[in-house]
Structure formats: C-alpha cells, structure tokens
Structure 1
C-alpha cells in the first residue's frame, strides 16, 4: 500500500478529484498512451471476507457555525436519509450565505423537486428551475454536477440565472451523491451511472413545459465526463454540449504507473467500497477567492471523504474511454476553462477542441481563472462566464 499512497493523488474536492502539478497552458500537450484497466489480467488472490465499518466523518469544523450545526454536518452521511436530513437543516442557512450566487435576485423563478426512480428501483433526486410565469421557454438545459458537488447549493444560483434568461433548467444527483439513494461517493460502474442520468433526462424531455423544444446538456468537472459519455451514447439526442472545466483525460503527471493500476484494479474487486486513498485538500486550487472557498464548505452533503477504490478505477476507465473517442464528439460544443486551473488541465480542453469532429465549436479560456470558474472567482468573472453560456445558448436557439 505504500507504493500506492506515493503514486496516487486522488481526493474529493468540491468540484473535481485529480490534483496535478501546474503546467502553463501555453506549452504543447504531449501524447501519452493511457493504460486500459480492462486489459489488465486479473490477479489471483483469495478474497478475504472483510466487512468495513463506516464511521462518522471527522472533517474540520465549519468556521462561524454553531457547535450544534457542526455536529449535524459531521454525522455519517453514507446513506440518503441522513443526507436529506442534513440538507433540510441547512437549507435556510444557505440562503443567507455571502456569495453572489446566493444573493442574486431572481424573483418569480419556479422551482420543483421530486424523486424519480432508475431501472434498479433507486430514488434519484431531480430539480427544475423554470422562467417566470408568462415568459416563453426557449429550450431545456440538463446539468451534470462534479464529483465533490451536488445539483443544489452553488448550482441553485447558476440555474436561476440561466432560467431568468428563458431556459428550463434541470439537474439530478447521481446515485450515491447529494440527495439520491446509494452509498455516498460510490461509483460501482461509471457507464451504469451514465445510463441512470440518461433515464432521468429522457423522462424530463417529455415534460409538458419543454416537450418538442431544443435540449442542451451541460457538465462541470467530472460532470463533463458524464456529459461526454451521454453524448457519445446518444450523439443525435442533444442540440449542444457545454463543458465547464471538464475532466475528460487524466493529466499525464498524475497517471499512476501500470503496476499501481493493476493493484488498484485488484483492490477495487476485493474491497470496492473501502475508502483507501488519502485525502488531500485542494480547495485553494479550486477557488481563487478565499471567501468563496470558505462558502464551499457549507455544501455539507457533498462527498468529502477519501475516495473509494472502485470509484477510482471507474473514473480512470471513463476518462481513458473518453480520451480514445474525442474525435467522435460531434455536437455543437462550448468549452469553458480557467487558464490557471491546476485541477483539470486547460490543455486537455484545447485537445478536445482540436480533435472533436464538431463543425460548431467554441473554446473560451479565462485569464487567471482557477478550477471553479462558476463559483470561486471574483463576481465579475462568474457573471462573465454565466453570460457567455447564455449568449451561446441564445445564438443556437435563434440561429434558424
């Protein structure tokens, strides 16, 4: 295990999971053959009958929060009922947070929350944000959240801003994330997760308020990988794809050696739910402004524990698969990335832009921008990114 700890740098920040050493977005991105975990021969070891006991999280106390609320936030969140209780306890407090996404006035925006069910019978949390009554809906936008995030909290403000511009916005929490059922932070099969999201979005497209309208899909960080997999599975079902700081290739300088990948693959079979990977705090790399970095800590139901072994393998598989299919990305495409992002590489977004077969593609890089360009930047940068998204959507809706 020592070799694995020295070679891997996985953790679960607010919006992503792979920490890389920073490289200038100006230098050339070199090609590297990414090992395929599926091609590794299975190692023959006896599987121990070990059952891991899950304990309450022992994260740092949230600054400025009462002891009672910190106690609520630090309870065991492995299962959905606990996450739902904690979210209910914090929902009024969230509205008072000093962040532009919580302070914007979007009076009249209609919201709805419900639980859909996937084909395996799991409850999946869904939410919609619709324009004010009487305002025409231009199109629908479905959102895929990041690994250490949820479809509520920060996205509430993002969704309201886009809905105010005439779009019906929809989002879901993946199984095991946010308010949906499933073991917290556990991805047993990335393609299965993608299929779960497709199920819910397919149902959403049939809702009366948006039936027959154009539909776009947007993903942030790991949600970018989910979005790309959805597009690759159903390339003709979306009118456009928006990617924000997408995780679509593991940066070369954090790709573990082949021997470590083999060990990781074995551990994911033996102890798939075990939290094996050391947590490394990289919020300072995700949020440029200190105040907004502190605000992120109030998203108390986001996954902040060490990464589970199967989850790590599934994310590696997913990004490896995406990297081999970048040329198959054919939808109208908008990619948004901070030039100073040290979590996901802006050079990879440049590579996606160059290799995709889309004839309608735009890459926007934001000077000095960190990973969370929609949450952690100065207010004017956040509003610029939001305006760029709405402008791009408007131009595709009214092009004909």
Structure 2
C-alpha cells in the first residue's frame, strides 16, 4: 500500500495510552475533567485535500457560553493536534477561548504522504479555508480571532498574516517560532545546495540527516518517553522536498520580518537548540507591529508548553493567557514590551 494511503489508515487507530496516562480512559472524560468540550471531524479544502480537525470549547451545562475569542492553532513539523499539543488547547478552552486546529497536510490524520510538505503556500491555503469556515459561523460573529503557532507553526502563522488583510487577526502567539532554521541544525554548506538539486528528481526521499528533535526539545526525561509514544508523530528522517521548502519559506520570512504588523507575543527558551531565540529577537526588533511583546525564558528548551517541568509550563501558560486576555477587548494605545 502506498505510504500516503497507509498514513491515513494508521491515523484511524487509537493509541494504547493517552498522553495524560491511562485515566481518564477516554478523551471525552479527559475534556470533562478540565471543564472543556471537544470534537473532531474532517474538513475538505477547496483543492480536495482532507484535513483532520479538532475544536476545544469551554464546557456548557445548558446554552453554549459565548467564547471570549477564537484561537486558531498550528502545530510544528512532524507533530499533530491529537497528542500533547492538545494540552495547551484544553488550557485555553477552560480559560474561555474557543480553539481550533487542523493537522497539516502530510501530518497526523490529514491527507498526504507523511511529513511531506512540498508547498507551504498550498498548506496555508488549506488552513485558511478551514479557519475562515469556522469564522463564518453565526455563533462566532464579532469575536476577535488570534493565531497561535508552535515552531514551524509559528512561521506558518506569520506567513498567514503576510498573505491576508491586516484586520483579519487580532494578534498572534508565537511559541519558539521557526522564523529561520537554526544554524545548529541547518545542514552545513554545500549540503543545502546538493539537497535542492536532488529534490528536483526525488522530493519524497527521507534521507536528510538531522538531530533527535525530542532529545533536543524536551527537558524532562519522563516527558521524552511520552512524546516518543505519540502514534501519529513522524520519527523518520526529513524528506528532501520538505527540507528544501522549509528553507525557502524561512528564508522568505527572514527577509520580510519588517513587514510584520500584527500584534504578537513571542515566547522562546534561551537554551532552545531547534529554533534560534536570537531570530525571535530579530523579529521583535524588525517588526512594524505597534503592539509586540517578547519573553525569553532562561534555560528553557524548545518544547515550552510540554517538555519543561510543570512549574515552567505554568509560567509560560500564564504569560500567554494574560496577553490574550488583555487583547480580547480592544483598547486604545500601543504596547511595546520586552521581558527576559
């Protein structure tokens, strides 16, 4: 069976153990325990690709409560929305936000060859179609809409902003965004040039050498085991076409940081070896946004919202929630803050 077909079939199987452990036994019970309601479905993008989607909302015992805002979330490379990524969405939902996310093409349960992203713009178009279909719902009329992205998802959020009208988004939360491939994991010269050439003929080959991202991202050893058990995670070598496209997209983004005008919060660990906190500082310095905040957390790694000790995660979550809360109701004036 071709890999792209097997990918979706594998996605239908439930994991043996949930990321939170054996109890609660079901997602519905886990959501209920946290005061959240969740649902999943497939969305067919205009080009015909099927995206697996999830929604997390504050739990209601009667009439659905009106969310404070909508948060559209984008996961990182090789990851998906059905494992540890959910923990942040559940936290935001129990805090009054309606959260929506889709597995990127080639990731999780969405259509496509595993971890093959040959065209970021096509993936962005699919995500936008889903996000806008959610925004058009009657119950969401007038609600502010925020983007939220982790790692590669942070870069995609910025590219979405650069490709859409500025008034479309109330702000963006960027968690260790991949605004540029870190020199610490970027293939050394002349390998990128060689990879680009070979990718023209064999873009799906999974042969690009890379470091163990779980080892570099997740600080707590027990949480590394949980991340590694994700049945939807792609653990193979990156595909040539994906690497070439990520290099192209991040090079574009790096050259356009001064065009960023959306209000944003960027959070990054100072010890991150996957994405470079110095590039997040460059984003903060270059962006034309009048409302921009950067927080660099001393000693934290790439996985700020799962892989750190719980007290560190609570600190980052609290900063994200405070930033969102302040921007749910429009206020006059601008904000420029930087904190370490």
Q: Same fold (TM over 0.5)?
A: yes
Aligned equivalent of 1:29: none
Question: Quick check: 2:184–2:273 contact (8 Å CA) kept in 1?
Answer: no
Q: Among 119, 122, 127, which residue is 2:49 paired with?
A: 122
Aligned equivalent of 1:80: 8
Instruction: Give the RMSD, CA atoms, in angstroms.
Output: 2.3
Question: Quick check: 1:77–1:83 contact (8 Å CA) kept in 2?
Answer: no
Give the Cα separation in 2 of the matches to 1:258 and 1:167: 45
Aligned equivalent of 2:317: 386
Q: Among 83, 96, 99, which residue is 2:21 paired with?
A: 96
How big is each residue's C-alpha offset from its partner over 1:375-397, in whole Å with a ceiling of 9 and x where there is no partner? 01110111111111111011001
Q: Larger % of strand: which?
A: 2
User: Gapped runs of 5+ residues in structure 1?
Assistant: 1-52, 56-75
Shift of 1:226: 0.8
Aligned equivalent of 2:39: 112
Q: Among 300, 318, 334, which residue is 2:265 paired with?
A: 334
Aligned equivalent of 2:292: 361
Question: Quick check: 2:57–2:93 contact (8 Å CA) kept in 1?
Answer: yes
Q: Please give the residue correspondences for 1:48-63 in structure 2 after superposition, counting only pairs within 5 Å.
A: none
Count residues with an aligned counterpart.
323
Secondary structure at the residue paired with 1:236? helix
Asked whether 1:370 is paired with 2:301, we answer yes
Give the Cα separation in 2 of the matches to 1:97 and 1:141: 29
Shift of 1:194: 1.2
How big is each residue's C-alpha offset from its partner over 1:63-88, in whole Å with a ceiling of 9 and x where there is no partner? xxxxxxxxxxxxx9852112222xx2
Give the Cα separation in 1 of the matches to 2:84 and 2:236: 20
Given the two structures, how large is their TM-score scaled by the length of structure 2? 0.89
Larger radius of gyration: 1
Task: Between the two structures, name the one with larger relative contact order (CA 8 Å, sep ≥ 6).
Answer: 1
Q: CA, structure 1 residues 95+253, in 2 after alignment: closer, same or farther (shift >3 Å)?
A: closer
Aligned equivalent of 1:170: 100
Aligned equivalent of 1:294: 225
Question: Quick check: 1:115–1:123 contact (8 Å CA) kept in 2?
Answer: yes
Give the Cα separation in 1 of the matches to 2:301 and 2:5: 29
